[in-house]
Homo-oligomer: A and B are copies of this chain.
């Protein structure tokens, strides 16, 4: 039985992400991806002109959009939710593929640039940024405080924890990031001081 086009594309997306995470960017080949996906090389080239296009398309399709609670009125809960989403993403194959691209920044600055523009920026820039802008638009937090540095706190602290320990931060650490760093930077008091 032939695969549907949607299944074939999704199998190729999964294959390129797994392949680049395993081999690194320098050794990524259309042969390896085709073998892993169980498709002919010509099927890949029919849909994506280059391996880079397939890789960026796969990253784009699997990158999560940050979704604040609809009509939500709880900034702290939405920030925690955003860091939950970030750590779930970091544990998966898309993040390992993104890391493989970032590791080759000196050799492939064009692909790093495309990763930020076509994938990260197109999905809201950074985790917590969509939430922060939404609450600022509603006038619930001071829009003047939503600076690039402040929008980067969540990702910076989660990724640093991973660099230092090799592990993603658990719920308690993520709560501390929100209560001890993000909320104070917004001029908002954390609801309780027990997390200190």
Contact = CB atoms under 8 A, between A and B. Distances in A.
Interface in A143-177: 144-145, 147-150, 152-153, 155-157, 159-161, 163-164, 166, 173, 176-177
Interface stretch (A14-22, A69-77, A179-187): A179-187
Interface residues of A, number: 33
A65 interface: no
A67 interface: no
A196 B160 contact: no
Contact of A184 (B112, B148, B152, B187): B187
A34 interface: no
A105 interface: yes
A159 B148 CA distance: 15
A38 interface: no
A63 interface: no
A162 to B, nearest CB: 10
A157 B163 contact: no
A116 B164 CA distance: 8
Nearest to A176: B149
A92 interface: no
Nearest to A112: B166
A154 to B, nearest CB: 10
The 3 closest A-B pairs by CB, nearest first: A156-B160, A156-B156, A184-B184
7 contacts: A112-B166, A116-B164, A152-B160, A152-B161, A156-B156, A159-B163, A160-B160
